[in-house]
Amino acid sequence: MGSEYRYRQLEAWLIEGIQKKRWGKGDRLPSIRSLCETKALSKATVLHAYQRLEASGLIEARPKSGYFVCGSRIERPLPESRPPISAPLPVSVSDVVMDVMARGAAFDLLPERHQREENSHAVQLLNRHIGRALRSQRGAAHQYYDGPAGHIELRALIAQRYRRLSCELTTEDLCITAGCQQALFLALMATCQIGDTVAVESPGFYGVFQLLEQLGLKALEIPSSAVDGLQTQVLAEALTRWKIKACVVTPAFATPCGATLTHSAREELIHLANTYDFAVIEDDIYGDLGFFVRPEPLKALDTEDRVILCSSLSKNLSRDIRIGWIAAARWHDKVKHLKLVTMLASSRFVQQGVVSFFKDGAYDAHLRKQREVLRYNCDQLVNYLNEQWPSDIKLSVPEGGLALWLQLPDHLNTLAHYNEALREGMVITPGALFSAADNYHHCIRLSFAHPITQAREAALFRLGEIFFMK
Amino acid sequence: MGSEYRYRQLEAWLIEGIQKKRWGKGDRLPSIRSLCETKALSKATVLHAYQRLEASGLIEARPKSGYFVCGSRIERPLPESRPPISAPLPVSVSDVVMDVMARGAAFDLLPERHQREENSHAVQLLNRHIGRALRSQRGAAHQYYDGPAGHIELRALIAQRYRRLSCELTTEDLCITAGCQQALFLALMATCQIGDTVAVESPGFYGVFQLLEQLGLKALEIPSSAVDGLQTQVLAEALTRWKIKACVVTPAFATPCGATLTHSAREELIHLANTYDFAVIEDDIYGDLGFFVRPEPLKALDTEDRVILCSSLSKNLSRDIRIGWIAAARWHDKVKHLKLVTMLASSRFVQQGVVSFFKDGAYDAHLRKQREVLRYNCDQLVNYLNEQWPSDIKLSVPEGGLALWLQLPDHLNTLAHYNEALREGMVITPGALFSAADNYHHCIRLSFAHPITQAREAALFRLGEIFFMK
């Protein structure tokens, strides 16, 4: 029997992984969904293998969290998003975001220490490719602006990558930007006008709230679960009451929780966009950072040319090269024009360097390694929090991305501790940044982008003291 | 007598320059104003020297054009700006700008040929400095965003340069941008809201008209003379009728004419801004490209912290590194926030490369050479046009910048010839781009950024045929 053979094969592979410490005690195993995708198995087959291992006592199931290697890890309840839904709000974000960014610290608790960490091999390689692109520039290239859409070869390579993920994109559909934030900015500029309402995840990315504030747009906050992301049924209900122009959504490993939209939620979202005629602005920046699987972008399901795909290399390769992109669907010409008008062009030599880095196969090799590192860092962080922080906190355990989300006891206000932490060299990302309403004052985003060194462990310990010893 | 000695010294220096072919037959000599500044002489002294040389028959005065070495160059009337002034207009700019930019060609008639030209020594040096910055990046720099204001050392060096030009700027007053266009965008975003009116030069930079269009701002076009730029008396009159939020002005070598504001016009403009409470957005991008003199920025006269200084390295060093800056006066915090929100950060390694290039003294050495080259190219272009194009055209002869402005017979429409020229490989910049109203259909901007090679001469010849042989 083919299917019997398959679940036994999977079972053997999982046991081997546990024996070889690929997953240690208390570690979370790949989700059913991700195993279905990576191993091309049916849900029944994966479930069957997991249930057999559970029966054997090697692993345990935890409701809403998945399967875990039996051992020390403590089960935690998930953080909540905050219903009930409220009317669209004008956005006013605190100066803390400016301060966090000015310290270059959105993903590191201890930015002052970063000098000691080495550049990764991939970044050294990237630097060499960019350096070579600079040296081999022919002719008076510095005297000419790059075209508004960006380097044609880079766009071709990016389109090719998306085609492998079932997105029908060509070179002509893409425009290179100075990172994903600029892509989101261009998408909102192209689709909305001052006073319009935009649906966003709650909790959601503070960069989007900042954009809404600066562009004079209103935020309609749709609760987003720590596991499945944007609650499309709530959006559906809200759409009967409010008119929106766009919905900004991160379908894969959304910050701050690391949630990923289910397939049916994706279909529902596309259906709603078609029915209520709004743009879907897809932030795919964490898409390549799945520990177990690279989800297909929402764009793959776009039927009416209304999903605007935004992403960049900032989170998975380099924040310093400022290379992102946008596939703006029916708004492509408008976006290209807006890019021209707001910054003329991108750096050609950097794009050329990225092209040769890609062609070298270096990017995929880097991603494979990076995913392993992040999964390891994530588990380290979760283990630390489980062992050292109070047991009544709630936390998300993502399957990708760079951060997890903690819900602390309700009386705590993490924002109020920002300056205190700062005086001790720690830059935290308080929950208040992730909403236009006052919904997450007792939450905090913690990143595992950097290894949990002794210094960072000490910082986490100190942060625990600040929060819980008062 | 000191002053007698001085005019004789100047006279001897001019004669020597003519004998050594620093200025050839028909070449324009430095303006009185620029000699006053570069040689620290009074106007009377310079005038005296010029009048003696004129009496000797070595040079000749041409009304409104200056002094020229006697010889072949034909005197031309100046192009006109188009009165009367009209009410503020919404802006709608043609797709031609997109096309010009997509061809990377704003300053080259023959962009396809540029592969054959060599990078300048300075650009090779700059490339080496950037490459070195990449290689010597310490720690995991690629994992951190640069601060929103940009690299502190670069800001310090730029502030220092402006202090030498009488501007009271410090490191903290500056924000690094992705070029001057982004600086102008941020300045307009920070000072205006949709529907507001902005005073601009007419003819004026098409990038500004494009920005006004995209931001939903109205243009109040103030006539700008080919020699002295923005006519402040017309602005004064207009301000009694219309409320403006900002005035975008290029006080030095404004595109398309290459005009430079007189000192009294500068004082008048500041006075008007203080009286009518608007922001002055100074585009200083050509300031470093004066053939004879580097004018002080208008910012030097700012008394109420309302002059926003914008510039970049694009026009005088490299269009590809995307490094510009903005000193946004009272709007500094707002601009920094807007930069954060619209693109997060700039590339640190590129800024570090520019810093070491600056510290090496390479930038000033490059500028000295560049100014000579541009002056030579400009004279070549003017000579060519005088010899080969019809005598009834009017043209500006700038003392800096990258382009001159031609007024052709009134029945000609240069925009209508855009596609015809393009089919023969020529990318022209028609007059229609330089106004929101239909004022300059019979004008064209020609650039001398690139050497007048045989190929470009042939292209100019062909362009003359297209315009005048029909």
Q: How far apart are CA A99 and CA A96, in angstroms?
A: 5
CB contact under 8 A, A126 and B106: no
Most B CBs within 10 Å, among A112, A176, A322, A326, to test the B interface: A322
What kind and span of H or E run contains A139?
none
Q: Does residue B21 sit in helix, strand or coil?
A: coil
Query: Is the CB of residue A167 less than 8 Å from the CB of residue A298?
Result: no
- Judged on CB neighbours under 10 Å (0-12, 13-18, 19+), A155 is buried
At A337 the pLDDT is 92
- Single-letter residue type at B311: S
CB interface of B with A, residues 183-202, below 8 Å: 185, 189, 193-194
pLDDT at A73 over 70: no
CB contact under 8 A, B347 and A350: yes
Query: Which residues from B are below 8 Å from A123, CB to CB?
Result: 140, 142
Q: How far apart are CA B131 and CA B260, in angstroms?
A: 37
Average confidence (pLDDT) over A379-404:
91
At A377 the pLDDT is 93
What's the token pair of residue B148? 């929103």
Closest Cα partner for B285 from B396, B360, B187?
B187
Average confidence (pLDDT) over B411-438:
90
Q: Which of A144, A193, A214 sits opposite B338 (nearest CB)?
A: A214
* Angle CA A261–A266–A270, to nearest 5: 145
Q: A435-439, B43-47, B95-99, B464-468: lowest mean pLDDT where?
A: B95-99
Tens of pLDDT, residues A131-140: 999 888 765 6
Query: Which residues from B are below 8 Å from A101, CB to CB?
Result: 145, 147-148, 340, 344-345
Bridge partners, A145 (sequence order): none
Q: A168-182, B140-154, B269-283, B432-446: lowest mean pLDDT where?
A: B140-154
pLDDT at B428 over 70: yes
**Residue B360, number of CB atoms within 10 A of its CB:** 14
* Angle CA B187–A214–B329, to nearest 5: 30
Q: How far apart are CA B426 and CA B464, in angstroms?
A: 12
Average confidence (pLDDT) over A397-409:
94
Phi, psi (rounded to 5 degrees) for A325: -155, 165
Fold of the A130-362 domain? Aspartate Aminotransferase; domain 2 (3.40.640)
More confident residue, A2 or B426: B426
At B25 the pLDDT is 78
At A26 the pLDDT is 78
> Residue B72 — pLDDT band, cuts 50, 70, 90?
very low
Q: How far apart are CA A379 and CA A376, in angstroms?
A: 5
Query: Which residues from B are below 8 Å from A185, CB to CB?
Result: 341-343
Whether B143 and chain A come into contact, CB under 8 Å, resolves to yes
Whether B456 and chain A come into contact, CB under 8 Å, resolves to no
At B230 the pLDDT is 96
What's the token pair of residue B262? 């007189």
Q: Is the dihedral of CA A63, A66, A72, A75 positive or negative?
A: negative
> Residue A25 — pLDDT band, cuts 50, 70, 90?
confident
Bridge partners, B225 (sequence order): B229
Mean pLDDT of the residues in chain A: 89
Q: Is the backbone peptide bond immediately before B111 cis, with ω within 30 degrees of 0?
A: no
Residue with tokens 């939209």: A261
How many residues are there in chain A?
Answer: 470
User: How would CATH label the architecture of B91-118+366-468?
Assistant: Alpha-Beta Complex (3.90)
What is the bridge-based pairing of β-strands A429-430 and A403-407? unpaired
CB interface of A with B, residues 156-185, below 8 Å: 178-179, 181-182, 185
> Residue B66 — pLDDT band, cuts 50, 70, 90?
confident
Whether B108 and chain A come into contact, CB under 8 Å, resolves to yes
Whether B146 and chain A come into contact, CB under 8 Å, resolves to yes
At B116 the pLDDT is 57
Q: How far apart are CA B90 and CA A287, in angstroms?
A: 41
pLDDT at B71 over 70: no
What's the token pair of residue A426? 């720690």
Average confidence (pLDDT) over A277-286:
98
What kind and span of H or E run contains B325?
strand B324-327
CB contact under 8 A, A104 and B146: yes
CB contact under 8 A, B341 and A116: no
- Single-letter residue type at A130: I
Q: What is the ipTM of this complex?
A: 0.83
| Relative orientation angle of helices B152-163 and B348-359, to the nearest 10 degrees | 40
Q: How far apart are CA B329 and CA B274, in angstroms?
A: 14
Average confidence (pLDDT) over B133-148:
79
Query: Which residues from A are below 8 Å from B117, CB to CB?
Result: 139-140, 143
Closest Cα partner for A316 from A29, A453, A120, A111?
A120
Tens of pLDDT, residues B45-55: 999 899 888 87
Q: How far apart are CA B463 and CA B428, in angstroms?
A: 9
> Residue B221 — pLDDT band, cuts 50, 70, 90?
very high
More confident residue, B87 or A415: A415
CB contact under 8 A, B343 and A134: no
At B1 the pLDDT is 43
Phi, psi (rounded to 5 degrees) for B453: -75, 175
Q: How far apart are CA A14 and CA A28, in angstroms?
A: 12
Closest Cα partner for B142 from A317, A113, A447, A116?
A317
> Residue B24 — pLDDT band, cuts 50, 70, 90?
confident
> Residue B83 — pLDDT band, cuts 50, 70, 90?
low
pLDDT at B12 over 90: no
Closest Cα partner for A82 from A193, A196, A224, A280?
A224
CATH number of the structural domain B2-69? 1.10.10.10
Tens of pLDDT, residues B162-203: 999 999 999 999 999 999 999 999 999 999 999 999 999 999
* Angle CA B320–B325–B329, to nearest 5: 165
Query: Is the CB of residue A137 less than 8 Å from the CB of residue B160?
Result: no
At A258 the pLDDT is 95
Whether B107 and chain A come into contact, CB under 8 Å, resolves to yes
At B105 the pLDDT is 65
Q: How far apart are CA B225 and CA B203, in angstroms?
A: 9
Average confidence (pLDDT) over A320-347:
94
In the structure, how many helices (H) and strands (E) does chain B have? 15, 15
Query: Is the CB of residue A295 less than 8 Å from the CB of residue A260?
Result: yes
Average confidence (pLDDT) over B155-160:
97
Q: Where are chain B's structural domains?
A: 2-69, 91-118+366-468, 141-362
pLDDT at A1 over 50: no
Out of 3.90.1150.10, 3.40.50.2000, 3.50.50.60, 3.30.300.10, select the CATH number for domain A94-118+366-468: 3.90.1150.10
Q: Of A50-54, A196-200, B123-127, which one has max mean pLDDT?
A: A196-200
- Could you give the percent of chain A with pLDDT greater than 70? 93
Q: Which of A104, A142, A350 sits opposite B123 (nearest CB)?
A: A142
Fold of the B141-362 domain? Aspartate Aminotransferase; domain 2 (3.40.640)
Tens of pLDDT, residues B346-377: 999 999 999 999 999 999 999 999 999 999 99
More confident residue, B20 or B154: B154
> Residue A105 — pLDDT band, cuts 50, 70, 90?
low
Closest Cα partner for A182 from B332, B401, B169, B182?
B182
In the structure, how many helices (H) and strands (E) does chain A have? 15, 15
pLDDT at A80 over 90: no
Closest Cα partner for A29 from A45, A9, A49?
A49
pLDDT at B281 over 50: yes
Please enumerate in sequence order all residues whose Cβ is within 8 A of that of B1, keeping only pairs 6 or more positions apart, or say none: none
Query: Which residues from B are below 8 Å from A148, CB to CB?
Result: 98, 101-102
More confident residue, A75 or B149: B149
Closest Cα partner for A427 from A113, A187, A133?
A113
